[in-house]
Amino acid sequence: MKKITSLLLALTLCLGLLALPAGAASEDTAARMQHTAEALKYLTLFRGSDKGFELDRAPTRMEAVIMLVRLLGKENEALAGEWSHPFTDAPTWQNAAEYLGYAYESGLTRGTSATTFSPNAPASARECVTLTLRALGYADSQEGSLWDRWEAQANEIGLIPAAMTTGSGFTRGDAVLLYYSALSCVMGNDSAARLTDVLVENGVFAPEAPAIAAAIAEDTIDPASDSLETVMAALYAKLPADLSRMHTIVMPIDAEGADYYLGTDTLSFTEAVASEPMMMAQAHSVCLVRVTPGTDVQAAMDAMRAGVDPQKWICVGVDPENVRTAAIGDLILLVLDNRHSQEFIDTFLAMGA
């Protein structure tokens, strides 16, 4: 009887797996894709849309090109240059020509014909891997073209992660896994440099950024023990809204700055940081404060909300109801933002759950 029951259970599980829709990721894989997308967002190499990351749908060929340009840290160069391409069906929306022209002139992409690019067609695993191999500096060889031997070449350098779909059902989530994996791959120019090394050398992100990105990708951020800079980085990366760290600067808060940032100069804390816009005409402030052990955390939050000036910026301000606080243990979050205060609070609290 036990053997029959086991067989029935195994059959049920198999049928359940077969019932998954094409391209559907398991819960673990979906979580891995989400965290990896957050890590790339932190590194400024990936962004979502107004609908979020949209990891469960296929990327278009145009999206694949844009994601690749960002992965290489070349977005600013692409948008600032004057490029050309032969494609008559290229998108006409702002900056599309720059992305596509840069990728074409750099030899990263080709069309579906001499004059067409098919920008809205879904990009396959084969296309995205081939694009990435070209970006890493690999080219056609005597062994065959990259297009023909894409999978063999990719496996040779460890480019394709185990969780990535290589057949039908390739999604933006799979592309995220691919592009994150590319960061650790050795460039194809007879050097020992990895893509990460090149991006650090080119100033795309700081030398310490890859370690923080790894913690975000592996979902090992611990608000109780990690540095406040790491927690702040993860907070922005996990936030559903498209707020890029490129638009803010994180700075330490000392005793002299406590009143301006935190609304009180009597709070006892061991460390504190603030994230505010580089352009001060924008009303946005996020502060993390690790208070001294034994501090009344609720009283500290009340003092911060009551004391901080929601109109401290030039010509702009925050509605007092959008000045909010939350705490995980002795770590307090203070947010001033008219659109995303609650998102910051919810994201922060989820990190400590």
DSSP conformation letters of 192-216: --BHHHHHHHTTSS-TTHHHHHHHH
Q: Which pLDDT does position 292 carry in this prediction?
A: 97
Nearest alpha-carbon partner for 135 in 110, 103, 167: 103
Nearest alpha-carbon partner for 273 in 253, 259, 257: 253
Please state the pTM of the whole predicted model: 0.84
For every one of its 353 residues, what pLDDT tens digit does the chain have, with 9 covering 90 and above? 433 434 333 333 333 333 444 445 688 999 999 999 999 999 989 987 778 899 999 999 999 999 889 888 899 999 999 999 999 999 999 899 999 999 999 988 889 999 999 999 999 999 999 999 999 999 888 788 899 999 999 999 999 999 999 999 999 999 999 999 999 999 987 778 999 999 999 999 999 999 999 999 999 999 999 999 999 999 999 987 666 554 678 999 999 999 999 999 999 999 999 999 876 667 899 999 999 999 999 999 999 999 999 999 888 899 999 999 999 999 999 999 999 999 999 999 999 88
Nearest alpha-carbon partner for 42 in 230, 225, 174: 230
Q: Which pLDDT does position 242 carry in this prediction?
A: 65
Q: Which pLDDT does position 286 carry in this prediction?
A: 96
219: left (phi over 0), alpha (psi -120 to 50) or beta: left
Q: Which pLDDT does position 136 carry in this prediction?
A: 93
Taking each helix axis as running N to C, give the angle between helix 341-351 and helix 228-238, from 0 to 180 degrees, rounded to the nearest 10: 120
Quote the CA–CA distance of 244 and 236 in Å, as a whole number: 7
Residue found under tokens 């185990």: 162
17-44: burial string, b at 16+ Cβ within 10 Å, e else: eeeeeebebeeebbebbbbbbbbbbbbb
173 close to 33: Cβ distance less than 8 angstroms: yes
Map out the domains of the chain as residue ranges.
23-210, 221-351
Q: Which pLDDT does position 313 carry in this prediction?
A: 87
Q: Which pLDDT does position 141 carry in this prediction?
A: 80
Q: Which amino acid makes up residue 27?
A: E
Q: Which pLDDT does position 16 carry in this prediction?
A: 37
Alpha-helical regions (H) of the chain: 2-18, 27-42, 61-71, 75-80, 96-105, 125-135, 150-156, 172-182, 195-201, 209-217, 228-238, 258-262, 297-307, 341-351
How far, in Å, are 4, 41, 263, 351 from residue 103 at the CA level? Answer: 58, 21, 48, 38
DSSP conformation letters of 96-119: HHHHHHHHHHTTS---SSSS---T
